[in-house]
A = this chain, B = another copy of it.
Amino acid sequence: MSEKEPTAPRSGERITIREVAQDAGVSVAAVSKVLRDAYGVSDALRAKVRASMEKLSYRPRASARGMRGRTYTIGLIFPDLRNPFFADIYSGVNAALERTQYQAMQGINTTSGALNMTSSALIEAMIDRQMDGLVIIGPNMETQVLTDLGARLPLVVIGQHDRGGDAFDTVNNDDQLGARLVVRYLMGNGYRKIAMLSLSPSNSSIIQQREIGYRLEMMELGAGDAINIVRASQVVRDVQVTVRRLLSGPDRPDAIFCWTDLMAFEAISVATEMGLSIPEDVAIVGYDNTMFCDLAQNSLASVDQSGELLGLQAARMLVERIDGRVTAEHFMVPPRIVARASAGPRQPQD
């Protein structure tokens, strides 16, 4: 294999800062300052340089900038791509960066199995590529790992309640409240034996918060005896088996509060296959309020956690950190129940 360099076409094809400086009749350093909106540039000089940049359609190269300064690129790490909820977060991030020089680049942990391994490999790849900062969504790692990472570069975490001193910011939906709202909503509609289909392994703080909220609200509303948490991994087959077992038992729940809309859709599917009616035989509630909840065949009641707002806020906070903030900030969005037929008012039993 030859060592040709077809990647970069004829060199000199791309305009550099040097040519802009020459065209504007100023120094290279002056152009650099205009580029970075740095102080110490007169309006006249700025105008001249801007005009030359426009005229030559100059675009700075991120990798050259990254050699000493910033790349104006931030990395987004998603836990998976199949949940349309993440698209909402992504739009929020993009909206926040729209009028800045920053650009978001995504990486996704698709490989199942050794999740920690995969995500740390991806994180290192992002650091190798000089990301100015990282937004990690729904991390499946120890808080200590995030703390260490936050010491290396600006970091904002979405979906992680445990804090790491000043090492990173967090942006969350109030998961404990979200779970409480679900229990209240279901109780209000006449359901009492409410089971929770949670996620395993359950080491994430989001999972813990939702389980706590569920337990507390069940107890406070006098249904402590009906508390029933079952767990499944995200794998489809595992969800199906778990739901089927739950619905086949002698003491079938009235309602299932599912970890995610995706799990709830599977629950609807299994219940349907078992010949059960929703919500007459069993009510189903999801989390995320994804676009598929509205489909008539799902009509899934769900908790809206404003993904777009989460993304927007995370991106803003990250840029602040890149700009020098060193103390942690934490942002929490209130969740909201969106009622739909899958958990509608219970008919009087015969």
Measuring CB to CB, which residues of chain A are less than 8 angstroms from any residue of chain B? 1-7, 9, 36, 38-39, 59-64, 66-67, 69-71, 73, 80-82, 84, 86-87, 90-91, 94, 103-108, 110-111, 124-125, 127-130, 132-133, 151-154, 236, 265-266, 268-270, 272-273, 291-292, 294-298, 321-324, 326
Contacts and interface: CB of A to CB of B under 8 A. Distances in A.
Contact of A63 (B63, B236, B270, B272): B63
A17 to B, nearest CB: 13
A94 B89 CA distance: 22
The winner among A2, A111, A324 for most chain B CB atoms within 10 A is A324
Given A81-B81, A152-B9, A272-B296, A67 B69 contact: no
A138 to B, nearest CB: 15
A281 to B, nearest CB: 14
A322 B6 contact: yes
Given A2-B324, A130-B62, A272 B297 contact: yes
A67 B70 contact: no
Contact of A73 (B4, B9, B86, B129): B129
Contacts of A59: 124, 127-128
A326 B67 contact: no
28 contacts: A3-B36, A3-B38, A4-B324, A6-B322, A6-B324, A6-B326, A62-B63, A62-B129, A62-B130, A63-B71, A63-B129, A64-B67, A81-B90, A82-B87, A82-B291, A90-B108, A94-B110, A94-B111, A105-B107, A106-B108, A236-B291, A236-B294, A265-B295, A268-B297, A269-B296, A272-B296, A272-B297, A297-B298
Contacts of A127: 59
Nearest to A295: B269
Contacts of A133: 7
A295 B266 contact: yes
Given A63-B130, A129-B71, A296 B273 contact: yes
